[in-house]
Structure 1
Amino acid sequence: MVLPRPSSPSISPSGRSPMLVRLASASVAVALSVALSACTTGVGSAADGSEADASSSSSARTVAHARGETAVPAAPQRVVVLEPVALDTTIALGIVPVGAAVLNEAAGVPAYLGDEAASIETVGTVTEPDVEKIASLAPDLVIGTESRHSALYDQLSAVAPTVFLASQADAWKDNVALVGEALGRADEATVLLADYQARCDEIASEFDVSGTAQLIRPRDGLLTLYGPESFAGSTLECVGFETPERDWEDSISVDLSPEKVLDATADQVFVTTTDVSDESTTPEAISDNASAFPELHLVDQSYWITGVGPLGGLAVLDDIEGVLSRTR
């Protein structure tokens, strides 16, 4: 079974689009009240004691993060994000970043984030952000990740107040909460996460979900299996599936060689791809053992793997609901 890549948020059997409902409520709750500006400047303190600009605001807040504490604008408007969860969450909270690091510069900003995200300037990749490009955008806030961007912290702090998540592998909901705090929209972030949970509960109740589910990402000749602590794995569990037991080696994922493909079986198996309409993107190891994978679903990598955040979560839940509607 192949899930088509949606060109717009999918519609549930109840006749409404969960993503659009959440987007609309979020937009109302956190609509921009100040025009984009890079002209006014204040002074904030980075964790190392150095001074950093705090623009677009006449006051500042202190945000605790992976590097200590940083003074950030009360209502940042020119935000640059260096991590998928920060990109997704910022847009979900009603702010379109002026710049974003992406996983693949050729692919750019993920399409699931909507048309307004097309205006975002790319500033290098998630693993190699370009500080000069970031500086050229005159941001008033930069959100990065200690595990990826530690060496750039001082440079980024010299450009704008900088807040670091600890790791992209941390519990994604905690990262959403920190991004909300950095943006001055902590309460709205809490609402977004509550909406996500409510959607999980709705699907779990409607379909009485049970059994096991496994997400597989083919890459570099291996099969990467995602566990219950991962973004998509936790979403599968949120609706009632169980992840097959294995040693996750204190990580969100483990790699299998194709020869061990039968270790990846489950009642429902989801395989990521960049083209859900192309069944040939199914790994040969799985195709050659089709009888062991009777319920196989190609899903869009742009949000199942890289779309970490409230909007990506709703997109994944729409796909899960589609699968359950067709298989019950």
Structure 2
Amino acid sequence: MKWVSLAAWITALIGGTISFFASAVTVTDSQGEFTLETVPSRIVALEFSFVDALAAVDVSPVGIADDNDPSRILPAVRKKLAAWQSVGTRSQPSLEVIASLKPDLIIADVDRHSAVYRDLTKIAPTLLLPSRRETYQDNLRSAAIIGKVIGKAQQMATRLKQHDQLMQHYAQQLTSLRGQSVQFGVARENGFYAHASDSYAGGVIAALGLASPAMLKHENASRQISLEQLLALNPDYLIVGDYTANTIVDQWKKQPLWQVLNAVRNQHVVSVDGNMWARCRGILAAEYMAADLVNLVQLP
């Protein structure tokens, strides 16, 4: 009887070991090789794009750096999430609150969180990926990595394929804009920040078969420009993401140079939600932007 029990124990041990190794996964993140030995169940996400990726495969993080404002998270993402604990702002998340949640995975942004990376790893395994200054293609690659780490590789691959098909569908609805330049920028009270083709928004625009003005190529993801510089770009379509009620664009509209812009003369200035277009990045965010553009642009 003792032998049978011992055999059963060994069998269980071997089975558990096989299961253990089967669930272990290794990926390459911004820090190098990252290995997680079990599928995480308590995840803390420190950027909106990571929350988007999780929501895309129906996974809810227990903690989110939501800037202490849940409304900043894309509504389509919020609908897919269970209740979460805010861990503060994306720029300065609370390590104390993160630790209190006892996470088994933290997903952090290489741009914002490299300085506290070691502190985060003391709390839980920390996956470091680009978010703040990522491109659209970077974002899709990060989503695939997240899917693998959380044990949803196949589901994420399927969702990414659906995303590509949906973006092609939206692109077909915008074919009449081919050959015309589309410039997105964020309007704040004291500045207008144009997003280059290498930015996240610029990448979404490119995925829709459209082009941003070439003069901003190889610049930072976004940079502040003057009305004169905007006139030099002179896009056919201007998409303005407002961050506040009264922005610098409201001041520009009173100046003669504003009326010279092609987009203004042809009534091709489109106002969008700056938070959703600039802060929110991800699979669901890109689909929102595409649908928003199709709905707002007045096609010939």
Alignment TM class, shorter chain as reference: 0.7 to 0.9
Structure 1 or 2, whichever has the larger Rg, is: 2
Q: Are 1:75 and 2:39 counterparts?
A: yes
Change (3 A) 1:61 1:234: same
CA offsets, 1:163-216, max 9 Å, x none?
101453232222222222222223322333322221222223244231111101
Q: Distance in 1 between matches of 2:74 and 2:272?
A: 14
**Structure 2 CA distance for aligned equivalents of residues 206 and 166 of structure 1:** 31
Residue in 1 that maps onto 2:113 = 149
> 2:91 is paired with a residue of what secondary structure?
coil
Decide whether the 8 Å contact of 1:87 with 1:100 is kept in 2.
yes
Aligned-pair identity (%)? 25
How many residue pairs get aligned? The number is 268
- CA drift of 1:281 comes to 4.9
Correspondent of 1:131 among 72, 95, 102: 95
SS of equivalent residue, structure 2 residue 36: strand
Q: Is the 8 A contact 2:187 2:241 kept in 1?
A: yes
| 1:91 shift after superposition | 1.0
**Unaligned regions of 5+ residues in structure 1, if any?**
1-55
Normalising by structure 1, we get a TM-score of 0.73
State how far apart, in whole Å, the 2-side matches of 1:138 and 1:58 are: 24
Q: CA offset at residue 146 of structure 1?
A: 2.2
What is the match of residue 327 of structure 1? 299
Match of 1:13 in 2: none
- Tell me if structure 2 keeps the 8 A contact 1:79–1:98: yes
Question: Is 1:310 matched up with 2:286?
Answer: no
Per the TM alignment, residue 144 of structure 1 is displaced from its structure 2 partner at its CA by 0.5
Q: Specify the alignment match of 2:68 in structure 1.
A: 105
Give 1:272 shift.
0.6
| RCO comparison, higher one (Cα < 8 Å, 6+) | 1
Q: CA RMSD in A?
A: 2.6
For 1:323, the aligned partner's letter is: L
Match of 2:146 in 1: 179
Q: Could you give the per-residue CA deviations for residues 49-85 of structure 1, whole angstroms, max 9, x where no partner exists?
A: xxxxxxx999432332222233325422211011221
- Residues 260 and 96 (structure 1 numbering): CA distance in 2 closer, same or farther, change over 3 Å? same
What secondary structure is seen at the aligned counterpart in 1 of 2:212? coil
More strand by share: 1
Q: Which residue of 2 aligns with 1:284?
A: 250
- SS of match in other structure, 1:125: coil
Consecutive unaligned residues in structure 2, runs of 5 or more: 1-19
Shift in Å at residue 263 of structure 1? 3.2
Runs of 4+ in 1 over 6 A off after TM superposition: none
What pairs up with 1:1-328 in 2 under 5 angstroms? 59-102=23-66, 104-106=67-69, 109-112=72-75, 113-117=77-81, 119-166=83-130, 168-170=132-134, 171-208=138-175, 209-210=177-178, 211-219=180-188, 221-274=190-243, 281=247, 283-288=249-254, 289-290=258-259, 292=261, 293=264, 294-324=267-297, 326-328=298-300
Following superposition, the deviation at residue 111 of structure 1 comes to 4.3
SS in structure 2 at match of 1:94: coil
